[in-house]
Structures are given as C-alpha cells and as structure tokens.
A and B are shown apart, each in its own frame.
Chain A
C-alpha cells in the first residue's frame, strides 16, 4: 500500500454546513471517496491510500485535473483505493463532489 497526499489552494469554499459523503466501494478495481467539510481551511486536502504502488505521478495528474474542473476548497478528501483505473477515480471524484455540493443547504 502507498500513502499519497495532495493539497490544492485557491479553490472557492463550499458552504460550511455540508455533510460528509461517501461514494464508491473498496472492491477490486474500485475505490471509495470520502469528502468532509474542513471549514477551518480554504484548501482542498486529499489523502490517498492505494493498493497500486508507484503511480504517484498519475494520481498527481488525476487530482490536478479534478481540482481544475471543480476548484473547490474547504474540504478534505480521503480515498481508499483497491487498484482503480484513473478513469474510475475521476468518475468517483466527480460523483462525490456532485453529491457533496448537492447536499449543501446553501
């Protein structure tokens, strides 16, 4: 297992009252994405635990593109990955952020 951390600044805060949300399952070739509000910061902090070692640069690229797509801040994203492809990772991230912001009462 490999642990990776990324942090992106400059995104706009999601309103504070959002509940946490979880998307996906830690099944082979899949992953779970947990998004929680982190109201004390503007950053988008991402922590990943992945079963596929040695793909740090791919994760970096996937996360950078994700942040560019949504530019959200004030959140903490935690991922448990069981060898998902970048396509699945991007899809789950998009689904999670959509659900997270939809729940946003603001």
Chain B
C-alpha cells in the first residue's frame, strides 16, 4: 500500500519504520479493550484504536503511536489516551531520538466523554513535557478523518507537523461548525471549501505545518525522519517567536473569509488554481513568493 491516506494504522507503521525494527507495546493479544464501549454494548477493538511501540526511522530510534481512523473515526477514549501517555512515559526512560505521532482522529470519543477529555489533556501535557526534555515530537496528518478536536491542539503542540494535501487539521470539524453555526456559515459538504480552510495545502501556506508531502508512504517516511533530525528545542525564545508570528498572521489575514483571499494576499496570481497545483510546484512557488 503506497498511499498513506488509504493505509491502516498498522500499514502506516510498516510503511514508515525500518523493516524488522518494530516492537509493539500492548499488542492486540493484550486485549486492552475500552470498558466504556463494552458497557455501552458497542464494538470494541483489541488495541482500542491506537498502535504504540518502538522502532527505527531511517536508523533513528523512535517511539511511535498510530491512531486507526477506521475505528470510531480515530476518537480518543480512556484506554487509547492512556496508551499514548504511557508511550511518552517510556520516552523518559528510553533513549530515543524522537516520538512520532501518526494522527487520525475526530477528537474525543463522545461515548467516553470526561475520560476522553482528560485523556486528551494528558496527551497534550505529555507532548510538552517530552519536548522540554529536548526530545522532538513530530506528527503526521494525512488520513481520511483528518486531525480535529483536542487532538488538533495536541498536534499544534508538537515540534513539527508533516501533512499531505489530503490531510486536514483543525479544532472543530466541518460538520461541527455547520451544526453549530448553520450551513450558510460553513457548508461541510462543500469539500473544496473544507480543504481550503483546514486542508494540508492551506496549513502549509499558513505555516501551521512545516512540511507538505505527496500522499505516499515513503514521502511521509523521509519527511518524518528529517523532522526528527532537525527538531527544534522548546524554549522561551522559540515560543515568543511563534507568538509573534501568530499575532502578525491575525493582523494580516484576520479579516478574510476564505482561504483564497489569504493565498491572493500571499502573492498567488491565480488563487483558484492553488488546489490543482502539484505538491512540488506549490512548495517551489511559495518559496519564491516568500523570498520576493
């Protein structure tokens, strides 16, 4: 399976790590099932929708957590959250070059409400704590279900994010916005609109994700390895720099209502064509525009 978008969590791990290097923690045979789903008489998964373990990424020793979007849209429940937090605990003890999160999630699992919310906040704290210790945490977003809700915040706390054009990153998902504010405000079925608001290309042009790659597993693999190698340490200066960037961004783009407005402001002559540009062409063009 060459496509990252189509691959399952396990196929992604196989596609990204060095062959034979994978060691799974709490594999399916451990049957760490969600007690909540069982109590609600809903389907469960043997790994509760997240695969965690250690392996080598282009030779770098890394810890990996991969969410399975197919299982409940990748929603985070108590067990899944505990598995991810536990993986970060392991990062304290083990000597690793980085932690890799292959995110695909709609956010908190509604059926596990409070437990899920707490789990996500613990994940966020664990990400920051790991970065403070100088271990980069890099995220990949390129699955069908995108990365939304609390896990969208978690992704924002990572050292860097690798996305494909197909990936989506945001807080409230498109359907949630439409439900809360009406179809006139945001038509979640207008997929082109959805993508120019939360899609990979837009996130890249805004600077929310550091790297944009094609939807191929090897492309994710090398971008993630590069991100681990060059991961910047979390320190006050870098946080302040990021804050300034965000302030400037709000100042410059805050009044716009559509991604295309922002792209035009960034210097794209034909913003309507941005979604049709190949990844390489978009990266090259945005580099030229930034330099200009």
Q: Do A's and B's CB atoms come within 8 Å in the complex? A: yes
Cβ–Cβ contact B46 & A34, under 8 A: yes
Which of A72-91 touch B at CB < 8 Å? 78, 80-82
- In the complex, 20 of the A-B residue pairs with CB atoms within 8 angstroms, ordered by the A residue number, are A1-B43, A20-B27, A20-B29, A25-B71, A26-B44, A26-B45, A26-B71, A27-B71, A32-B28, A32-B46, A34-B28, A34-B29, A34-B46, A36-B29, A49-B44, A51-B42, A78-B46, A80-B43, A80-B45, A82-B43
A25 to B44, CA, bound (A): 10
Is B41 positioned at the interface, with any CB of A under 8 Å from its CB?
yes
In residues 54-105 of chain A, which contact B (Cβ within 8 Å)?
Answer: 78, 80-82
CA distance A51 to B29 in the complex (A): 21
Over the window 20-57 of chain A, the binary record of Cβ atoms lying under 8 Å from chain B Cβ atoms (1 yes, 0 no) is: 10100111001010101000000000000101000000
A-side residues, CB < 8 A to B, are 1, 20, 22, 25-27, 30, 32, 34, 36, 49, 51, 78, 80-82
Chain A residues whose C-beta falls within 8 Å of the C-beta of B47 in the assembled complex: 22
Taking a contact as CB atoms under 8 Å apart, the answer to whether B28 and A22 are in contact is: yes
What's the least CB distance linking A88 to chain B, in Å?
13
Q: Which chain A residues lie closer than 8 Å to B41 at the CB level?
A: 1
> Interface residue tally of chain B, by bracket?
10 to 19
Q: Residues of A contacting B181 with CB < 8 Å?
A: none
Q: Which residues of B contact A32 (CB under 8 A)?
A: 28, 45-46
Given the interface pairs A27-B71, A30-B70, A36-B29, the reply to whether A22 lies near B46 with Cβ below 8 Å is yes
A25 touches B43 (CB 8 A): no
The distance in angstroms between the C-alpha atoms of A40 and B41, with both chains bound, is 32
When distances are taken between beta carbons in the complex, the residues of chain B under 8 Å from A20 are 27-29
**B172 interfacial contact with A, CB 8 Å:** no
Closest to A21 in B: B28
Please name the 5 residue pairs, one residue from A and one from B, whose CB atoms are nearest each other, closest first: A27-B70, A25-B70, A26-B45, A22-B28, A82-B43
A81–B70 touching, CB < 8 Å = no
